[in-house]
Amino acid sequence: MIVSLENVTVTLSGNKVLDAVTLSFAEGTFTGVVGPNGAGKTTLLKVILGLIKPDYGTVRVFGTPPAGRGNRRHHIGYLPQRQQFDRRFPISVLDAAMMGRVPCIGLLRFPTREHREAARKSLEMVGLDREIAGRQIGELSGGQQQLVFLARALCSHTKLLLLDEPTAGLDILAQQRFYNLVRSLQHDLGLTVILVTHDLGAVAAYADELVCLNKQVYARGEPGRIMASPVLGELFGNNLFPRAKEDALADGRLVCV
């Protein structure tokens, strides 16, 4: 297992955000983690990244505790929730992608031509051509920016890709393109993908496995089974789930088992 959590409990500001969560993620799988707001999805990713230390329980990433990963840090790509940034922030698309190379370059060292080339390749992998590399990051559309950040997450020998609500704020077409791209990259590069989202219908169509989280793990399994189970109704409320399910069934992305 690339990632394993055992009995992980996290309390933030007096509220229990994760409660005795036990989960594992196998190499080369695409897992969608779904749950309502405040379910602890982002916290789960931050625990895996070592940004939040659990109160109880053990976390292993590549067989070691997250904080002690040391030289394996560069095997993890992370795409945080979309944040508003200064559109005039003075970096080019290539500079932004190069930030993903920081764990490979190391402290007190400067990027070389090899690092720049790796960043360019990453941009190409996500479908951004070389001409765009010199443009200021703030000049791109939201969808293109998200692709740049995906390239940044991929450009450091990434084996584990963590995506936090990556399609929030994107239109339907851009969302589908994004999920298709992630799926094909996962297949081509043998990535292990953990994707956190509210977008039940979409993730069910692309993920190998779904995890339903609301502070605890309610269910996990193949998307078809999960979408057909009553657990989602409990998690999201009965009004939301049938619509997501019906949408997914109607456009043929989902077949209930």
Nearer to another protein, 56 or 85 (CB): 85
Give long-range contacts, CB 8 A cutoff, 24+ apart: 25-29: 25/1, 25/192, 25/194, 26/1, 26/2, 26/192, 27/1, 27/2, 27/159, 27/190, 27/192, 28/186, 28/190, 28/191, 28/192, 29/192, 29/193, 29/208, 29/209
Residue 240 Cβ vs another protein, minimum distance, rounded to whole Å = 28
R_g over Cα of the chain: 18
Q: Which amino acid type is present at position 38? A: G
Residue 202 Cβ vs another protein, minimum distance, rounded to whole Å = 23
By CB under 8 A, residue 125 contacts another protein: no
Work out which of 14, 37, 84, 110 binds another protein, going by CB under 8 A. 110
Looking at residues 66 to 95 of the shown chain, list those that interact with another protein (rule: CB under 8 A).
Answer: 69, 73-74, 76, 78-80, 83, 85, 88-92, 95
Residue 166 Cβ vs another protein, minimum distance, rounded to whole Å = 13
Residue 79 structure tokens: 């795409």
Stretch of residues binding another protein (CB under 8 A), selected from 33-41, 100-108, 125-133, 249-257: 100-108
Residue 239 Cβ vs another protein, minimum distance, rounded to whole Å = 33
Helices (H), 85-222: 93-98, 102-105, 113-125, 142-154, 172-189, 200-206
By CB under 8 A, residue 108 contacts another protein: yes
Residue 146 Cβ vs another protein, minimum distance, rounded to whole Å = 13
Please give the Cα distance from 188 to 184 (Å, whole number).
6
Q: Which residues bind another protein (CB under 8 A)?
A: 49, 51, 69, 73-74, 76, 78-80, 83, 85, 88-92, 95-96, 98-100, 102-103, 105, 107-108, 110-111, 136, 149, 152, 156
